[in-house]
Amino acid sequence: MKNTFGNQLTITLFGESHGSAIGAVLDGLAPGITVDEERIRHQLALRRPVGSISTPRQEADEFQILSGVFEGKTTGTPLCIVIPNTSQKSSDYKASYGKARPGHADYTGFVKYNGFEDYRGGGHFSGRITAALVAAAAIILPALEQKGIYIGTHLQSCAGVADRAFADINKDIAKLNQSLFPVLQEDAAAAMRAEIEKAAADGDSVGGVLETAVIGLPAGLGEPWFDSMESLLAHGIFAVPAVKGVSFGKGFALSSLRGSEANGSLRYEDGKVVDEANTNGGILGGITNGMPVLINTAIKPTPSIFKQQQTIDFIKEENAELELKGRHDPCIAHRARVVIDSICALTVADVLTGRFGTDYLTMAK
């Protein structure tokens, strides 16, 4: 029963969707990192529901840091951040307990925890828990930026609508990290919103693909086998609810290319190694090469839909039908982008700390 991720720098998540609060504990943080509470609020706002294309559940996400910070700086001891839940409607779930919601972890959670799980709103499996992940990572992100490392994610495609690819990555990341709906083309944003609203009107949902760029990482991070940079990032990303696929660079498209197309060309430019094609997404042999790390993440359609579905009643052990009520997102991909940014930040910070030492994030650039 483990809920901790990381090696040198770890994060432990706790709480349930309809419990009194959710939260996170960061351990292994260097002392002296500036904690910017406005940045935490900003990151949480990027995750918050957006109008008709998101759940009507509105949480204030007013957080409290209980330990590990003194006079605005980390102390080096475990940092605990808590976010109260204030907008639960548990009655939506009590009446249908035992009927497994298709696409959800109701049945698997029941089996795993021997029937003692908090089933309301998905309990500890809920995407609500990602708010704590985002809040914790908001402490790490500014420290990475002080080292010249920036992370940004856009909704590459959603419901058959595609956004443009990264171009000027620095500017694109800056734009995305100020945008509530994370796309690089305004016309793509309007078309995606329209498709999400269509799905919502049908009582249905859609998914999407996110593309993340991590820039400024030094070459040499990661191990050649089980702790390759891809392995560590994928481990973290796959922990995010609704993620069903992760690839790097051109990903699966590389399998249809010839080696002469897939390899890219290396050269020195102003004393730095450059690979403009970057088909492998900034990682070779499990180790960063100094180019932008590019990650593609597949987000499945929200499993909570307002249509009658065939399922099972695992209490009565019989077949059943289910039609959901409650408050649900017709698409979570646009909200998930800041969660992907956050888990990437935590993973990168953990690897950097392991490679360069505990105090790396507070050392001068």
Condensed to tens digits (0 to 9), the pLDDT of residues 32-63 reads 999 999 999 999 999 987 767 766 666 788 99
Residue 127, exposed/middle/buried by CB under 10 A (0-12, 13-18, 19+)? Answer: buried
Number of structural domains in the chain? 1
What is the C-alpha separation between 101 and 237, in angstroms, rounded?
23
CA-angle at 338, arms to 332 and 342, nearest 5°: 130
Strand partners, 321: 310
What is the C-alpha separation between 115 and 104, in angstroms, rounded?
16
CB count in 10 Å sphere of residue 321 = 10
- CATH code of the domain covering residue 293: 3.60.150.10
Condensed to tens digits (0 to 9), the pLDDT of residues 326-348 reads 667 899 999 999 999 999 999 99
Check residue 94 and give its pLDDT: 73
DSSP 226: T
What is the C-alpha separation between 280 and 248, in angstroms, rounded?
6
Contact 213, 337 (CB under 8 A): no
- 313: phi then psi, degrees, rounded to nearest 5: -105, 105
Domain span at residue 213? Answer: 4-362
3-state secondary structure of 302: coil
Confidence of residue 310 (pLDDT cuts 50, 70, 90): very high
Report the interhelical angle of 37-47 vs 333-356 (nearest 10°): 140
Residue position matching structure tokens 């094609």: 277
Check residue 72 and give its pLDDT: 96
3-state secondary structure of 350: helix
Residue 113, exposed/middle/buried by CB under 10 A (0-12, 13-18, 19+)? Answer: middle
DSSP 152: E
Q: Hey, which of 84-88, 127-131, 276-280, 292-296 has the most confident mean pLDDT?
A: 292-296
